[in-house]
Chain A
Amino acid sequence: MKSRLRVLRAERGWTQEQLGTAIGVSRQAINALEAERHDPSLDLAYRIAVAFGVSVENVFPNPHHQGTKP
């Protein structure tokens, strides 16, 4: 799943280790998310969004969103 994780993390000057510790996952998990080797659970996506202070869709753009709202 595509994400803005790497960009958001770089903007804040956080390492993968720091972000992982903040949300309770391993550095490997952060690396896998950034490399699109792991699709996060909803719970993890929410925890990441809270850590950055943004909405989930600001971190993980919805791949099913068609661009127009019904």
Chain B
Amino acid sequence: MDDGWPSSRPYVIGSTLMWILFLLAIWLLAWGSEGDRLPLAARSAIAIVLALAVAGQFIAAYRLIARQDEYVRGITAKRMIAAAGVTITAAVFAGVAEQFLGLRDLPMWLVYPFYWGAFGMVTPFINDTRP
């Protein structure tokens, strides 16, 4: 068994690196898009790296969860499902509001930090693995 969610040192290090990569890629894309400072090919490559950072974070989280005991696996799965529900609900509302209610366009990449924020918000309320 690992030393515990989410305090595992390899997970914290890997997760922090993925977040730094994600935020750096966002910053680079924002900077590079102004006045075409970076060519399209470079921006495309950065966008792919950004997406891979998100995938890497989820792979790291999955591997960490897989090493936990059945109780921690159970509550973490429930928390992730609840966070996904909150995130998808908010994303659907934002999408409809953009299309039909005149809400200004929101960047879709916000879904990623929103998801982990939602995970943090639901965590204190889910401590039971039973239905």
Contact with B along A16-38 (1 / 0, CB 8 A): 00000000111011001100011
Question: By the criterion CB–CB under 8 Å, are B1 and A38 in contact?
Answer: no
Q: Which residue of the partner chain, among B69, B127, B128, B129, contacts A26 with CB atoms under 8 Å?
A: B69
Question: By the criterion CB–CB under 8 Å, are B69 and A29 in contact?
Answer: yes
Q: Which residue of the partner chain, among A24, A28, A44, contacts B72 with CB atoms under 8 Å?
A: A28
Of all chain A residues, the one with the shortest Cβ separation from B130 is A39
Interface of A is mostly: loop
Chain B residues in contact with chain A, CB under 8 A?
1, 4, 68-72, 74-75, 127-130
Chain A residues in contact with chain B, CB under 8 A?
24-26, 28-29, 32-33, 37-41, 44
20 pairs, A vs B, C-beta closer than 8 Å? A24-B1, A24-B69, A25-B69, A26-B1, A26-B68, A26-B71, A29-B69, A32-B71, A32-B75, A32-B127, A32-B128, A37-B129, A38-B70, A38-B71, A38-B74, A38-B129, A39-B129, A39-B130, A40-B70, A41-B70
